Amino acid sequence: MELDQIEAFVAIVRRGSFTGAGAALALSQPAVSRRIDLLEHELAAPVFERTRGGVRLTEAGRAFLPYAETLLASMHDGIAAVRALERPDHGAMTLAIVGTLASTTLTARLRSFRAAYPRVELRLRTALSREVSELVRRGDATLGLRYDVDPDPELVCRTVHREKMVPVCAAMHPLARRRALDVSAFRREAWVAFPARRGAGGEPYTLTIEGRLAAAGLGGAEIIPIDSLTAQKRMVEAGFGLGLFPVSSVDEELRAGTLRTLPVRALQATIDVVLIHRRRAYLSGAAQSLMTALSQWDVSDPRRATRRRRTRARSRAGPGRRAPGRA
């Protein structure tokens, strides 16, 4: 079995056709077909079923796919390892992240990394948590940031941040003017959230919201499904529902006064942000530095740093005295 046969097989799966695979590999369609014929001869089983709409994997093809992807990922790791011997701070690296994290202090951390490693091409891909895991598992991303631990033993998971989630409403919403609230005030309120995606345990972000509402006795609340976090915030600002958002993703709106937090402890939640990589992946010096930076998420969070400085200042000032710089 030759490596080019496996490359053709994976390319067809990802592109959806022999023609698309040929374009990706700079090969003619007959050349791609020849490689698949040889692969099927080696496996003694067909890997694709040809249909009018394209191709689909046979049972044998589905069984072979994860091994083929792992083999290609290992080959790419080997190439990267050899190149890194001469140029450890060069090259390209892909980080897959859950889309909602792009609105947090993560962006400042990534800017610092790019400044420290200007010759490393850091590519970003956004996806759902389980899609982030899949990108890392098959070698399309070196590292991933997702919500909650992935139980796959082939992935190494490290919790790097615990994201606080808070209930919010529009500034003009009647609930925004109330200082004391209990869960009964939300019985007839609708909530905006990502569409529920069932199967494989569901999506952690959506499950966290659903679980918090259910725990507060609001399991039957109306959910308005919206695929975009930005669109969700705009809908809440317009008064079409309430939201349960990562607090760092609504900092700007809270400062501008277009959203208000709702003081209901029963509706507050946290969700773990987890850094992942393949257990046997080659991690370059730049990749390890990025891992270190991401592992110091809370340490370098400017809001936490400000609170720590204020705490230390109050301690130095002593009891009964104000810390310098405070009115």
pLDDT at position 198, please? 60
pLDDT mean values, one per 10 residues, the chain (327 residues)? 85 86 87 88 87 83 87 78 64 86 79 86 89 90 93 93 92 87 87 75 81 89 88 94 89 92 88 92 84 77 47 50 43
Query: What is the spatial distance between Cα 1 and Cα 21, in angstroms, rounded to a whole number?
Result: 19
CB-based contact 248:105 (threshold 8 Å) = yes
Describe the crossing of helices 18-25 and 3-15 by its angle, rounded to 10 degrees: 120
CA separation for the pair 111, 230 (Å, rounded): 22
Domains of the chain: 1-72 (1.10.10.10), 161-272 (3.40.190.290)
**CA gap 281, 73 in Å, rounded:** 8
Identify the residue whose tokens are 């072979």: 64
Give phi and psi for 103, each to the nearest 5.
Answer: -100, 10
- Provide the pLDDT for residue 116: 86
- Are 211 and 271 a contacting pair, CB within 8 Å? no
Report pLDDT for 241.
Answer: 92
Asked if 95 and 144 touch (Cβ cutoff 8 Å), the reply is: yes
> pTM here?
0.66
The pLDDT, as a whole number, for residue 235 is: 94
The confidence score (pLDDT) of residue 87 equals 62
**Backbone phi, then psi, for 47, in 5-degree steps?**
-105, -15
Cα–Cα distance between 277 and 134 in angstroms, integer? 11
230: nearest Cα among 211, 215, 214, 246: 246
Say how far apart CA 219 and CA 222 lie, in whole Å.
9
